[in-house]
Structure 1
Amino acid sequence: MFDRSAFSFTNILSITIVLSANSNDRQTISSFAFSGCHNLETVTIRMSSFSIGGSAFNDCFNLKNIIFPENYYISYIGSYAFENCPLESFNFKSVNSLEKGAFRNTNLREVELNLGSLRDDVFEYCSNLINVKIENELSIMESKGIFKNCHSLETVDLGPLSWTCREMFSNCYNLIEVKSSISYVGIHDETFYSCINLKILKLNPSNIGNKAFMFCNSLAYINLTETVLIKSRAFYGCQNLASVSPQVFGDEYAFAFCNSIISCNVQTFAKTGLMMNCSKLESVVIHNIQYIPDKMFYGCSSLKNIEFPDIIKFIGHYAFMGTSIEVPFLDLSETNQIGNYSFKGTKIERIKIGKDFVYSGFQCDFYYRDRCWGNEDTDENPFKDVTTITEIILGSGKQKFRGKDFQDSNNANITLGQYSYFRIENGMMIQDNEI
């Protein structure tokens, strides 16, 4: 239509853009065409089908009003096209594609979207934006930060959107309510990261990405009925999250530092530090988890009551260290791998050991396997500072016994199970093959 940067950094106050006389094709307002026109206030466009190039109106610090014809269509608005313009409103319903940062740092108060694709940071730093409404499925999965750092945003209606994008509403500090009109929605990585006032979630997440709700300090309840995957640090540091229904599960540190959870069911799967430092957690029921990972309840200082699964095959480093658990009977009949300080300082009365332990060390990369080759033995024994054990039951599969594991329980007695490799003679425990 006209050359790139044709009017950039000029002093024009208003401009009317009309269809080129020698073309019936879709028209394009060139990239950087009016970039840096600091005095430009009004733009009138008299074209029904057109596109806007990248940075076309970038840094037009007084541009508040754009007049369009009826029934217009914009095929795309290029990267940073209106960045730093004080636009207060824009009709996006006739726009097919918004490129990176197209409306970044504008004064928009509401955004309604119903078609097309959005790229990175389209509305980032729109500090006056209060409401977002999505009326149709959008192509955003490969994008990130679309509404990031919109500090005044309060309500979001995701409509039929099936997936959010990475960092979609990250650092929207005043976001209070988010809702969806479909059965379940996928929440991408860091979607609501540090949305510290988010209280109301009217949606069912199917997948929850890394750090998706991290530091959402006002969130008190989450329904995970439809959720199949929770990734690392998804709810890390959600200080007021008190109710998780129906169960807790997830990747590394998914619920760490959630200091308002008092009781919960843990099932499906768990990874390192799942509930680390949940300081008010008092009781836990563990279902169908045979591999208890490193630091799973590390630092849960109020945790006293725990219901273990029937079979435990692996217990990681520091799994229950720093808790106050009281266990009348701990059945480790099927456990063959145990980590450093797993039960340090806890209260266990009776314990049954059925197999020889592989003592996991820091240099071992083969967790959850039967053997950990080249593993060094350490003094960080699993039952350090456990002084309450009164009975140790050795099952038929136990061929080796490391007494120093229980050196702090001075009143412990050893009971040999049926077909034990050991026997007791004159107060001494020896193996059957020893003379």
Structure 2
Amino acid sequence: MNKKLFSVALALLLVLTALTGCGAKDESSGKKEKIIKERGVVSANPAGYIYDVFTDNTIEISGWDKSNSPATLTIPEKIDGKKVIDIGERAFYSCESLTSIKLPSSVTSIGDSAFRNCYSLASIELPSSLTDIGEYALSGCPLTSINLPPSVTSIGNCAFLRCALDSVELPSSVISIGGFAFAYCESLKSIKLPPSVTGIETGTFIDCRSLESVELPSSVTNIGECAFCGCGSLKSLEFPSSLTGIERAAFRGCSLLESVELPPSVTSIGMTAFYGCDSLSEAIVPYRLNFCGDNAFPEQTRIKDHKGNDRPLYKTSDGCKYVLLNQSYTELTKYVGDSTDLSVPEQLDGLTVTSIGVSAFSGCGSLKSIELPPSVTSIGERAFYGCKSLESIKLPPSLNGIEAFMFGHCTSLKSLELPSSVTGIGANAFENCRSLESIVIPASLTNIGEDKTSTSFAFSGCDSLKTIYFAGTEAQWNKLTQNVNLITSYPDRHKKVEYAVVFGK
């Protein structure tokens, strides 16, 4: 696969992977849940509402009589004499006749998908009491503008996904903005983030194609994966001195971005962070970094440090492309050689290899065997994906985990021993390893088949798997694999794969 096609495929993968996170609840808020004492009550005064009653006799609207939906709606503060405090999950979901709505001053939260896909809803009046806007709350609504009251503290994942917003003012009260919150708002021209926001989450402004101006506060320390990916109208951006990390594909495809200066505080730049920024002629990057993924900048971009000196980011030695961090260690970001049997050296030009990057050996179809040095402690996801000739691999003794899709489609791999240091196996780690007959798993394992966004089949398509040697006890294994989809056949996922688990080996 050529570089351009691979880059496109990777970009699509990043978007699809990240989108699954829209449904992932944030359980860290510590907000106390209200207790419902009665559900599904049909209102009498006024008629047309369905609600749930809390133990304090306040209510949450949970539904609406769609057969009698007006175009405009003003929700009263009280229904059947009870105070309305919440608009519940999916309460007005797909009420396509609704064009405008006014919420009462008693409402404090709008639940997940409450007005999602109300395709005619062009106006909504929010009360000064509102604090929380849930996931997908107004996703798909043709809102061109919205006035967020100064009481709002939280905007959920995908809250305004695919809205027609051309402007939005975020109040200083906002503390958190979820992933994909304003994704695909293609008319949005400018955004100023409030001073209380410390990070920009995954895909928050992805494909906001009209976005020309972004103001980042001095509180921001991290810009998440694909945060501004595809913002093709963005020409310039000033990064705050508080910034420490820019994640994978954060500004990928910002084709009009002409120059960037990363502050000295930045220590980490993710894979393809500025890749596809075709107008990016110059970038100023800190002299010393802790991490920098492959293809962080386009090939034509001249990289300099803050003193104006040329600042190369990568070098290649014996087919091993590695990153120059100006540290004593490095990461092998991409193998560009053609060896069939490879022993990765512990050092590349005097720098200790401590990690193998995302997709570093992906698609190396001629590679039959590989030995990794003991200095390596981490290997990125999809590192060996599609190495169809790979028959054997010696993993380093201090490896901390097997990441998602790491050995996906390694169709010649028959057996593998995981070192005793491994604590996790990611989702689809061995997907379609159709020749895999046995694997040795250490007792140190604490999770299997998991990644950031899902729990999935670690051994999907491993039709030949006969024996799993687990160094721990049967009780440990049962706990480890409880509620985990471990093995399925391919392409018939309903076909049972018969295998044995041998304990204490």
The alignment yields a C-alpha RMSD, in angstroms, of 4.6
Normalising by structure 1, we get a TM-score of 0.56
1:253 matched to 2:294: yes
1:205-220 alignment runs, 5 A limit: 205-220=243-258
User: Distance in 1 between the 2:273 and 2:145 partners?
Assistant: 28
Q: Would you say the 8 A contact 2:184–2:208 is kept in 1?
A: yes
SS of equivalent to 1:202: coil
2:202 to 166, 169, 181: 166
Residues 44 and 287 (structure 1 numbering): CA distance in 2 closer, same or farther, change over 3 Å? closer
Change in CA separation of 1:118 and 1:336 when aligned onto 2, cut-off 3 Å: closer
Q: Which residue of 2 aligns with 1:404?
A: none
1:81 to 114, 137, 140: 114
Which residue does the alignment assign to 1:365? Answer: 372
Question: In the TM superposition, what whole-angstrom CA distance separates every residue of 1:23-80 from its partner, at most 9, and x where no partner exists?
Answer: 97432112x32457665432332347510111211222232222345xx242321121
Q: After TM superposition, give the deviation of residue 361 of structure 1 in Å.
A: 10
Q: Is the alpha carbon distance of 1:266 and 1:159 closer, same or farther for their aligned partners in structure 2, counting shifts above 3 Å?
A: farther
- Equivalent in the alignment of 1:189: 225
Equivalent position of 1:139 in the other structure: 176
**Could you say which residue in structure 1 is the equivalent of 2:438?**
none
CA contact (8 A) 1:293 1:314 kept: no
Tell me, in whole angstroms, the C-alpha distance in 2 between the residues paired with 1:259 and 1:22.
Answer: 61
- Residues 271 and 294, structure 1, Cα contact 8 Å, conserved in 2: no
* Contact 1:253/1:271 (8 A) holds in 2: no
Q: Is 1:157 the counterpart of 2:192 in the alignment?
A: yes
Q: Taking structure 1 as reference, are residues 63 and 272 closer, same or farther at Cα in structure 2, changes over 3 Å only?
A: farther
Moved >6 Å (runs of 4+): 14-24, 266-273, 295-298
| Larger helix percent | 2
Give the conservation status (yes or no) of the 8 Å contact 1:218–1:240. yes
In our comparison, the structure showing a higher alpha carbon Rg is: 1
Contact 1:29 1:53 in 2 (8 A): yes
**Displacement after TM superposition at 1:120 (Å):** 1.9
Deviations 1:99-123 (A, max 9, x none): 2211011122234364332322111
2: CA distance between counterparts of 1:293 and 1:218? 30
User: What is the rounded CA distance, in whole Å, between the counterparts of 1:362 and 1:113 in structure 2?
Assistant: 60
What percentage of residue pairs aligned between the two structures are identical? Answer: 20
Most deviating of 168-177 and 102-111:
102-111
| 1:268–1:287 CA contact under 8 A, matched in 2 | no
Unaligned segments of structure 2, at least 5 residues: 1-36, 337-345, 354-366, 377-392, 395-505
Measured in 1, the distance between the counterparts of 2:54 and 2:100 equals 28
1:162 shift after superposition: 1.1
1:119 aligns with 2:156: yes
1:353 corresponds in structure 2 to: none
Cross-structure match for 2:449: none
- Give, in whole Å, the separation in 1 of the partners of 2:310 and 2:211: 29
Distance 1:81 1:108, change over 3 A: same
The 5 A counterparts of 1:246-325 are: 246-247=285-286, 250-261=291-302, 288-289=326-327, 314-315=347-348
What's the CA shift string for 1:162-183, capped at 9, x where partnerless? Answer: 1111111111111111103325
Select which of 39, 42, 55 maps to 2:73: 42
Deviation of 1:189 (Å): 1.3
Report the TM-score when normalising by structure 2: 0.49
Give the Cα separation in 1 of the matches to 2:107 and 2:310: 50
For 2:254 and 2:230, the matched residues in 1 are separated by 5
- From 67, 75, 100, the counterpart of 1:65: 100
| TM-aligned CA distance change 1:103 to 1:163, over 3 Å | same
What is the aligned partner in structure 2 of residue 350 from structure 1?
none
Distance (whole Å) between structure 2 residues aligned to residue 81 and residue 162 of structure 1: 27
- Distance in 1 (CA, whole Å) between partners of 2:154 and 2:316 is 37
One-letter amino acid of the structure 2 residue matched with residue 187 of structure 1: I
Aligned length: 300
One-letter identity of the residue aligned with 1:237: G
What residue identity is the alignment partner of 1:29?
I
**1:121 touches 1:148 (CA, 8 Å); kept in 2?**
yes
Letter of the structure 2 residue corresponding to residue 199 of structure 1 = K
The question of 1:237 aligning with 2:276 is answered yes
Distance in 2, matches of 1:5 and 1:19, equals: 5
